[in-house]
Amino acid sequence: MMNKKGAAKRKSVLFINADREYSEDKAQNHLRPEDIDKIINAYRKGKTIPGYARVVPTDEIIKEDYNCNIRRYVDNAPPPEPHDVRAHLHGGIPLAEIESLGHFWQNYAGLRADIFAPRDAEYMNFSPYLAEKRDIAEFVNRHAGVLQANQTFMTQLEAWWEQNLPIVEALAPDAANQQARPRNVYVMRSQLMDSIHDAFTQQNLLTSFQVRGAFASYVNYLKADFKSIAASGWGAELIPDEDILQSQFPEVLAEQTNAQARLAALQALFAAADDEDFEDTDDTGVMTSEQVKDLKAKLKDAKGMVKQCKRDPGLGSSEEYQEKVAQIEAQLKRHKVLEDEAKELKKVIKAIENKRDELVLSAREKISQDEARVVIVARLKQLLLNTYNRYLRAEQRACITAIENLWGKYAVTTKEIEVEREHASKQLQNFLAELGYE
């Protein structure tokens, strides 16, 4: 996009290269709120940001024959992946590459010391606590420094919410003056955006763009709710059905959840029973469709033989066939009990779903504005915490990925690979010799 307004008076052009900062989706990629905020911030400040934005004098563009290819002026290509030959050959993780992840070590106290162990002046080893690459994620996720950093951030966020809650509550019309002009949601957004940005300037867990972007995402998700609050106050219609049921009829939700869980377990059992290799090791009594069909055929034959033996004792003992009938009926009954339970669970779930709307409607009519405000404010707070928690988890995953990358490069040395290759080669030669190919 090019801004030509006032171009004749300008002696420079601001180039912004944001093509590496986006979220990948199945159908198409899209800009995240923090990406949009960073673009806007770079444009408004109009200053050079290494690898992202640059103010280019027009004389330089003229020398380039007016070529306005963005990458010519703002190269945001990532640096090449470093590879330490000595580490590949002899082992160890280069200290320089560990230090390049300094922002993680700064944010997560003690993680660096616990992930790595001393080796020499220029290299370190992985901690003996890490036996495999897959151990890294669990180690980081459970590390005290990581948990403490996230908890500190969330505690500060909760304090910020309580401090700025009056701004959100001021959205609702004055109860004493219902004719007052509705409050402006975008003014509230701007106030809170600046406030949360200033409140988190001293932390390094999230960038300022992420702090602002997370809040922009939060407000955008709740835009309709905020507009409704501004227009008509704390209406109970803003409370989701699930929240009303949870607060007013928790036993109904519990019954539905339990029924759905049991039905899912039964359906999984029936599906597994039809697999070729299925064995009822838990003695549930479930059978495959073919087994049920076969047993019903045998039951029919056994009942027929009972009648025939009674008429003609020479054909065999009717008591023996009657015992066989009882055994087959017992097997079929155990299976039918499970089928009947599944049918009954479906009825229970359907009945609950049918009365949910009535329960929600009746409960919503009884909720006062003050009660609704308490529930709505609690929901707004929880959604804010959830939004930032997602960003914190993403940062945590980025740390795990970076450490796993070091493991992938240096955990196994070239010499170890060669030894394993020689061993595998000898095994192969022995197998071929045994088969008579050598």
For the stretch 258-304, pLDDT in tens is 999 989 888 888 888 777 677 767 777 888 778 888 888 888 888 88
Q: How confident is the model at residue 175 (pLDDT cuts 50, 70, 90)?
A: low
Any domain includes 436 = no
Q: How confident is the model at residue 135 (pLDDT cuts 50, 70, 90)?
A: very high
Any domain includes 250 = no
Q: Is the model's pLDDT at 312 over the cut of 90? A: no
Last residue of a domain, which of 51, 73, 95? 73
184 lies in the same domain as 94? yes
Instruction: Give this prediction's pTM.
Output: 0.73
Winning range, highest mean pLDDT, from 10-24, 86-100, 348-362: 86-100
99 lies in the same domain as 231? yes
Q: What is the mean pLDDT of the chain?
A: 87
Per-residue pLDDT, averaged over 126-143, amounts to: 94
Winning range, highest mean pLDDT, from 54-63, 154-163, 222-231: 154-163
The confidence score (pLDDT) of residue 182 equals: 53
233 lies in the same domain as 95? yes
The confidence score (pLDDT) of residue 211 equals: 94
319 lies in the same domain as 263? yes
Any domain includes 403 = yes
Q: How many domains, in total, are found in the chain? A: 3
Q: Is the model's pLDDT at 174 over the cut of 80? A: no
Within 8 A by CB and 6+ apart from 77, the residues are 71
229 lies in the same domain as 289? no
211 lies in the same domain as 275? no
174 lies in the same domain as 229? yes
Q: Is the model's pLDDT at 224 over the cut of 80? A: yes
292 lies in the same domain as 357? yes
228 lies in the same domain as 273? no
Any domain includes 372 = no
Any domain includes 432 = no
Any domain includes 420 = no
Q: How confident is the model at residue 438 (pLDDT cuts 50, 70, 90)?
A: low
Winning range, highest mean pLDDT, from 14-23, 95-104, 340-349: 95-104
Per-residue pLDDT, averaged over 331-339, amounts to: 85
Last residue of a domain, which of 73, 98, 114? 73
Q: Is the model's pLDDT at 377 over the cut of 70? A: yes
Any domain includes 342 = yes
Any domain includes 417 = no
| Integer Cα distance of 211 and 135 in angstroms | 30
The confidence score (pLDDT) of residue 181 equals: 53
Q: Is the model's pLDDT at 130 over the cut of 80? A: yes
Q: How confident is the model at residue 147 (pLDDT cuts 50, 70, 90)?
A: very high
Per-residue pLDDT, averaged over 341-346, amounts to: 90
Say if residue 203 is exposed, middle or buried (CB neighbours under 10 Å; 0-12, 13-18, 19+): middle
Give the domain range for residue 393.
87-130+134-239+377-410
**For 327, what's the count of Cα atoms within 13 Å in the CB-facing half-sphere?**
8
194 lies in the same domain as 342? no
Q: Is the model's pLDDT at 177 over the cut of 50? A: no
162 lies in the same domain as 261? no
Lowest mean pLDDT among 14-18, 112-116, 358-362: 358-362
262 lies in the same domain as 288? yes
